[in-house]
Chain A
């Protein structure tokens, strides 16, 4: 049974162009904490911390819009807002 409220953890490794690894803590359907690692490219690199921060407190259904905004203006390869939305959603589906 997947919990519908309370704290849960989910992880998912997604081989997009490169490998994207999502490790997340959920509170109900909100992202409480998230770490995105992998061998992708994102310029400027420091943007990753902003992207992670932008996701904290957001509901699962808000991820894609949040990422379109927080990844806007960045150049990336092996990772995109769509890839990351998919990876986080899969981590959510697998939460324990």
Chain B
């Protein structure tokens, strides 16, 4: 399989989600494609089924300049700041969707191995190192293809995250922060110091090995950007989409 790789930079949340969906919508034309990117300004994405108001302190996010966005994929709320994000579009695998997480997560495990970390798939959609989550992943199937996107935490600041994410009970906030610190790790926490661009390269190699793919770098046609822009403006930046549940 040939796998196009886009070594992208950091973008606004609305563009990121618009571009991911546009890649999926044009899978037939562009073929399997991996994009490696970041978020600027920082953002919170929530899963397709979550309620923005229940998950996020919206006023606080505004005050801190954190964008808020709903994904087309399920799963939980994610604070995107100190991370590398990937998205991959592929023809849909045969078999259960939930089993295919394991296949794609192997790319992250292989990339982490290159950094000297032993990682493993955990639960439905996580990758863990030393028993702690370092990567969360979510997948959807549309337009006859599969989109999986996910994060690899380069650093983590749980206090900062919980300034924006809501907790079920305010009085339990300190306990929740302590729990999350026990359950989540990052490259930095594991003693790995790596630049964003270097990590992009290692991730691309991880995908190359996990999917037994030939990777190549080539930009996508302008119309994929045009459709991404249309989705950015007319869907992902709208209150109607982000606050629909």
Contact = CB atoms under 8 A, between A and B. Distances in A.
A75 B97 CA distance: 8
A31 to B, nearest CB: 17
Given A45-B140, A78-B124, A39 B76 contact: yes
B50 A38 contact: yes
A44 B73 CA distance: 10
Contacts of A40: 49, 74
Contact of B74 (A13, A21, A35, A42): A42
A39 B47 contact: yes
B19 interface: no
A96 interface: no
A4 interface: no
A57 interface: no
Contacts of A48: 48-49
Interface residues of A, number: 20
Interface string A30-49: 00000111111111110010
Interface size classification for chain B:
20 to 34
Contacts, number: 56
Given A17-B124, A43-B141, A45-B140, A37 B50 contact: yes
Contacts of A77: 98, 124
Contacts of B73: 45
Task: Report whether over half of chain A's contact residues are helix, strand or loop; otherwise say mixed.
Answer: strand
Interface in B80-116: 96-98
A84 to B, nearest CB: 12
Interface string A1-28: 0000000000001000111010000000
B1 to A, nearest CB: 23
A77 B75 CA distance: 10
A23 to B, nearest CB: 8
Nearest to A43: B97
A78 B48 CA distance: 14
Nearest to B138: A41
Interface of B: 47-51, 54, 72-77, 96-98, 124-125, 138, 140-142, 168, 245
Interface of A: 13, 17-19, 21, 35-45, 48, 75, 77-78
Given A19-B76, A39-B49, 16 more contacts: A13-B168, A18-B124, A36-B49, A39-B76, A40-B74, A41-B98, A41-B124, A42-B49, A42-B74, A43-B140, A44-B140, A45-B48, A45-B74, A48-B49, A75-B96, A75-B98
